[in-house]
Amino acid sequence: MSATAAPYRSSLADGPGGFTPVLRAEWTKFRTVRGWVITALASALLIVGFAYLGTFAHHDGGICVGPNPSTGTCRSFSHPTPPLGPGGVAVTDTYYFVHRTLTGDGSITVRVASLSGRIQGGNGNSASVADMAGAPGPAQPWAKAGLILTAGTKPGSPYAAVMLTGAHGVRMQSDYFDDVAGPAASPSSPRWLRLTRSGTTVTASESADGRTWTAVGSAQAAGWPRTVQGGMFVTSPLTAPTEQALLPGANGVATGASATFGAPNLQGGWSPGAWTSQDVGDNRSIPTLSTVGSERSGSGFTIAGSGDIGPSVAAGDTDRNALTGVFVGLIVLIVLGAMFMTAEYRRRLIHTTLTASPQRGQVLIAKALVIGAVAFVAGAVAAAVSIPLGNHILRVNGNFVYPVSAPTDVRVILGTGALVALAAVLALALGAILRRGAGAVTAVIALIVVPYVLAFASALPAGASQWLMRVTPAAAFAVEQTLPQYHQVSYLYTPSEGFYPLAPGVGLAVLAAYALVALVVANRVLRTRDA
Amino acid sequence: MSATLRAEWTKLRTTAATGWLLLGSVALTVALSGVVALAVTYASVGAGQDITRLSLTGVYLGQAVVAILAVATIAGEYSTGMILVTLTAMPRRVSVLAAKAAVVSALVVAAGTVAVLGSILAGRLILVGNGFTTAHGYALLSLSHGPTLRAAFGTVVYLALIGLLSLGIATAVREPAVATGLVLGLLYLFPILAALAPDPHLRRHLEQIGPMTAGLAIQATTNLRGLPIGPWAGLGVLAVWAAAALLAGGLTLARRDA
């Protein structure tokens, strides 16, 4: 009987166990394939390169300043810069104002007898001058008639106002962004309104009969000069464009409103003398009706105005113009993500991989981390370069670009990185499930890009587009939205105008959920199926 | 040539994926068309809509499956190594590509016809119920209407040209994932770039040269003068893309080692 020989043992020491070597192996695989590294770099360069296409030679129609009466078309356009309100935020500040000077404390009370509206005959850019008068009818829902105290008549000045609106009852609004709802009120029945300045506070109250008064709200007037302007104002914003009338450059139809006021009752430090009538604001920064003005009616006034006092939403460009190239980079990174998995099968490397690291789930997670990190860096760096570059090109060409706060900029940059990273991980997971590069790439593009194309370039109505941007991974493009929606501004808040139905984080979470489900399924398939 | 054709037909016919992909392209096209028809009501969009085009929206998704099929026809051979057998048996490489093009076109035309007829039928049945009636100025969708027939026929040709474009690109790049990315990028990026392009002239040019934006002009039946490119001219632009891709594919196939 001979002794059994000891089995062979490699003289090399055992390598470290656990997840780290798996992760390092996957990173080495990515790093050492020259084509993949070049592709990742190319995706970032494409994003930056296409920022140029999205912003160069810019001519977005703008606002018609030279309507041609004979043909009904527009001869010239302007690209106005909207006025900047308190805090440097873009605002609209255009209204008809009948005012006096108030020094120190005081109050003004008036009865708004009625409010009616006019709508421009054609659309915002191509209507003829003859259409401008329009026909009388109900007021635009956000048409405003009431009292205002303002630090000055220069557009963008701080103010506080109480008003009767076309369909939103009595409101107190101040400094363009603050909006407080008062009682519901019909524009056809009379309403009494009062504004009181006392120290650094302006309070608003209203009454249905002129005897019983209800407080609507108050606004801070700290920092106002001692002498301010106060009086009656009327304004009426654009209608939101209907889908049928949606033409390039047409942001809506101008409307006007006219209101009948009773005799104003003044208390406190008002200047004596006559009322001053003034068309406040730059009527080129928002399409308006040309029939504005005021006339005495008995002891009161009839005032016709057109425009708006509030946040500006449609006068300029946003970060998404500079981020046009994200779609190009996204498709490149989707291909890269799918191939990072399917190439293993195609080259039979999967046998070596799974022999070296038999924990199949760990391999999948390591791959997802590597491709996710690569895509995140490519997307975030490219966005960080594209946004200032694209906005610079827009500004050099004379366009207004909405200023964006630093935290929002950081959110858009990191969000773009996360968007492309999650899409690449989704492609990786589908690559593991399908084992076919073509199928995985098509599936991810069909999930993320096609809904966007359908929302933009097909005949889908806005409701269906909104729905697509909620339930498909394309919801993640909400990270590119930088302007908030304002309930007090009529506008077509649709994806094609850059407004998404979900908040940025929620939109990204929708894509993350798809990626997570795909990873779970991929993990299951990888463990239960022979390689 | 007929032997080459028969060989390619046998290969494609006996691959299990072919049937599923053709079925998938028909199902996705009809399903998306039907869902869009269900989602659009006269109350929400009003008069002047192109309901023929609306009923054919499913092509946006169906074409992606056609692209997979065409890419797999050639790039799949490189993945499996089958290409070595193919080129050994049929050394005239351009004939091989021509045979593949003929077989893919025939299959796509067959599936495309079913998909388009299904979409039109779905539109015809659903849209009337959503208020697109003669009382509102909408005729019942029918192939006896000249422009609708042109749109339906043209959409089938469109799908076949997408198949040829994909085949040409896949022959040139060989890697299935890269080929699919390139084809779908070419198709879907033009409408997005055009929609985001701030300059109206640039936008129009992008829509005129994009294979999908130009090619789908064939579906338009109303407001033809407002289109960036005419229906047949648009289909011609796609044909030029497909011809260029096949030329590039043919040249690389003939000149390069398999």
Distance from CA of A458 to the nearest CA of B (A): 7
Give the CA angle between residues B126, B132, B136 to the nearest 5°: 165
Residue A249 with chain B: CB contacts under 8 Å:
200
pLDDT over threshold 80, residue A162: yes
DSSP letters of A234-303? EE--PBPPPSTT--TT---B-EEEEEEE---EEEEEEPPSPPEEEEES-TTSS---S--EEEEETTEEEE
For the residues A21-40, what does the mean pLDDT come to? 92
A58 contact B CB<8A = yes
Most B CBs within 10 Å: which of A56, A125, A326, A335, as the mutation test of the B interface? A335
Identity of the residue in B60, B177, B199 whose CB atom sits nearest the CB atom of A339: B177
What would the pLDDT profile of B78-90 be if each residue is shown by its tens digit?
Answer: 888 888 888 888 8
Inter-chain CB proximity B48 and A244 less than 8 Å: yes
Kindly identify which residue of chain B lies nearest to residue A323, measuring between CA atoms: B196
User: HEC states along A390-419?
Assistant: HHHHHHHCCCCECCCCHHHHHHHHHHHHHH
Inter-chain CB proximity B72 and A321 less than 8 Å: no
A246 contact B CB<8A = no
Residue B47 with chain A: CB contacts under 8 Å:
244
- For the ranges A179-188, A275-284, A457-466, B35-44, the lowest mean pLDDT is seen at A457-466
Identity of the residue in B36, B49, B180 whose CB atom sits nearest the CB atom of A437: B180
pLDDT over threshold 50, residue A305: yes
pLDDT over threshold 60, residue A123: no
* Helix and strand numbers, DSSP H then E, in chain B: 12, 0
Helix ranges (DSSP H) in A435-481: 437-457, 462-471
For the residues B228-234, what does the mean pLDDT come to? 92
A442 contact B CB<8A = yes
Beta bridge partners of A170: A164
Q: Which residue has the tokens 């005239």?
A: B92
Kindly identify which residue of chain B lies nearest to residue A445, measuring between CA atoms: B184
Most B CBs within 10 Å: which of A393, A394, A453, A477, as the mutation test of the B interface? A453
The DSSP H or E segment spanning B36 is helix B16-39
Maximum CA extent, chain B: 65
Looking at residue A241, its pLDDT comes to 57
pLDDT over threshold 80, residue A307: yes
Residue A239 vs residue B50, higher pLDDT: B50
Inter-chain CB proximity A460 and B40 less than 8 Å: yes
Pick among 1.10.3470, 3.40.50, 3.30.70, 2.60.120: CATH of A82-311:
2.60.120
Q: What is the ipTM of this complex?
A: 0.92
What would the pLDDT profile of A472-483 be if each residue is shown by its tens digit?
Answer: 999 999 998 888
Looking at residue A37, its pLDDT comes to 95
Distance from CA of A51 to the nearest CA of B (A): 10
Residue A467 with chain B: CB contacts under 8 Å:
39
pLDDT over threshold 50, residue A255: yes
Q: What whole-number distance in Å separates Cα of residue A470 and Cα of residue A494? A: 12
Residue A55 with chain B: CB contacts under 8 Å:
198
Inter-chain CB proximity A441 and B180 less than 8 Å: yes
Inter-chain CB proximity A331 and B49 less than 8 Å: no
Distance from CA of A467 to the nearest CA of B (A): 10
A335 close to A328: Cβ distance less than 8 angstroms: no
Residue A53 with chain B: CB contacts under 8 Å:
193, 197, 202
Q: How confident is the model at residue A371 (pLDDT cuts 50, 70, 90)?
A: very high
Identity of the residue in B79, B192, B200 whose CB atom sits nearest the CB atom of A59: B200
For the residues A417-440, what does the mean pLDDT come to? 95
Inter-chain CB proximity A335 and B67 less than 8 Å: no
B159 close to B66: Cβ distance less than 8 angstroms: yes
Residue B202 with chain A: CB contacts under 8 Å:
53, 57
Looking at residue A286, its pLDDT comes to 66
% residues pLDDT > 90 (chain A): 43
Positive or negative, the Cα torsion across A459, A460, A463, A468?
A: negative
What is the domain partition of chain A in residue ranges? 19-57+317-528, 82-311
pLDDT over threshold 80, residue A58: no
Residue A61 with chain B: CB contacts under 8 Å:
200
Residue B191 with chain A: CB contacts under 8 Å:
453, 456-457
> What does the mean pLDDT of chain A come to?
83
Most B CBs within 10 Å: which of A39, A77, A428, A442, as the mutation test of the B interface? A442
CB pairs under 8 A between A and B: 152
A473 close to A510: Cβ distance less than 8 angstroms: yes
Q: What whole-number distance in Å separates Cα of residue A31 and Cα of residue A19? A: 18
Distance from CA of B98 to the nearest CA of A (A): 22
Please name which of B171, B163, B193, B219 lies closest in space to residue B25, comparing C-alpha atoms. B163
A104 contact B CB<8A = no
Q: How confident is the model at residue A258 (pLDDT cuts 50, 70, 90)?
A: confident
B173 close to B166: Cβ distance less than 8 angstroms: no
Most A CBs within 10 Å: which of B138, B162, B189, as the mutation test of the A interface? B189
Most A CBs within 10 Å: which of B80, B82, B188, B190, as the mutation test of the A interface? B188
Looking at residue A248, its pLDDT comes to 36
Identity of the residue in B45, B46, B177 whose CB atom sits nearest the CB atom of A342: B177
Inter-chain CB proximity B180 and A438 less than 8 Å: yes
For the whole model, what pTM was predicted?
A: 0.85
Looking at residue A347, its pLDDT comes to 80
Kindly identify which residue of chain A lies nearest to residue B178, measuring between CA atoms: A335
A396 contact B CB<8A = no
**SS3 breakdown of chain B: % helix, strand, coil, rounded to 5?**
80, 0, 20
Looking at residue A145, its pLDDT comes to 92
Q: What whole-number distance in Å separates Cα of residue B199 and Cα of residue B97? A: 41
With a CB cutoff of 8 Å and minimum separation 6, the contacts of A18 are none
CA distances from A316 to A278, A282, A340, A469 (A): 27, 16, 41, 23
Through-space distance between the first and last CA atoms of chain A, rounded to whole angstroms? 43
Distance from CA of B127 to the nearest CA of A (A): 14
If you compute the radius of gyration of chain A from its CA atoms, what whole number of angstroms results? 31
pLDDT over threshold 90, residue A498: no
